[in-house]
Amino acid sequence: MTDVIKEDQVLDCSGMLCPMPVVKTSKAMKELQSGQILKMVATDPGAPPDMEAWSRQTGNELLRSMTEGGKFIFYLRKK
Quick: pLDDT tens for 11-26: 999 999 999 999 999 9
Query: Is 18 assigned a catalytic role?
Result: yes
Nearest CA to 51 out of 65, 38, 69, 35 is that of 65
d(CA 28, CA 51): 14
Residue of 8, 9, 18, 32 with catalytic role: 18
Give the pTM: 0.94
Q: Which CATH class is domain 9-77?
A: alpha beta
d(CA 47, CA 16): 10
**77 DSSP β-pair partners:** 37, 61
**Per-domain residue ranges for the chain?**
9-77
Per residue in 24-67, pLDDT (tens digit) is 999 999 999 999 999 999 999 999 999 999 999 999 999 999 99
Looking at residue 1, its pLDDT comes to 47
